[in-house]
A and B are shown apart, each in its own frame.
Chain A
């Protein structure tokens, strides 16, 4: 089966610019997660979707980050305006639903803010 697709793979922007990342989950996977992985740290959960609804966005910096999952399939994560400390790899992961399922991770988008 196809994996979790993310794009772009790399992005370099200047601070205060905006950027968007895209995630296409495995077909039928209802639960989608966005993680932020700063260099030298483990991934940190930003937001969790169940179909097109938000389950948990308590760690999302809502003053600059936003995410949506229209139609419960693809998801986009946006940063506006970007700060230097947003430089990280943004990972998308999906599971069939909320339960003891294994996560499937995408390859991530590496963002560099200069």
Chain B
């Protein structure tokens, strides 16, 4: 079945550091790929998405590129801020339109 594997956390960074969170997937077809973010005490929010190979999703300085050849969708941000501290989830959606999530990566950014 479909599955998503994320790099394990927690990840602790200093402000202005570069952030990468690895995500790889297994799917039978051609899924859409997503990154969701969960800030402390809040619900899940869509951060960015990509619907086909080589698409790049971007939002709030975060980027991720849909790599079909490596079945990956790694999340990157060039300069993180304290406000980026959150749990990040990689997810995929196939033709049944149901979301399957990775385990989540907790990111803490120190001032």
Contacts and interface: CB of A to CB of B under 8 A. Distances in A.
B46 A103 contact: yes
Please classify how large the interface on chain A is, using the bins under 10, 10 to 19, 20 to 34, 35 or more.
20 to 34
Q: Which of A40, A41, A42, A44 has its CB near the most chain B CB atoms (within 10 A)? A: A42
Interface residues of B, number: 21
Interface string B41-60: 01111100101000000000
Contacts of B51: 100
Contacts, number: 51
Contacts of B100: 45
Contacts of B104: 40-42
Contacts of B99: 33, 43, 45, 93, 103
Interface of B: 4, 32, 42-46, 49, 51, 89, 91, 93, 96-104
Interface of A: 3-4, 31, 33, 40-45, 48, 56, 91, 93, 95, 98-103, 105-108
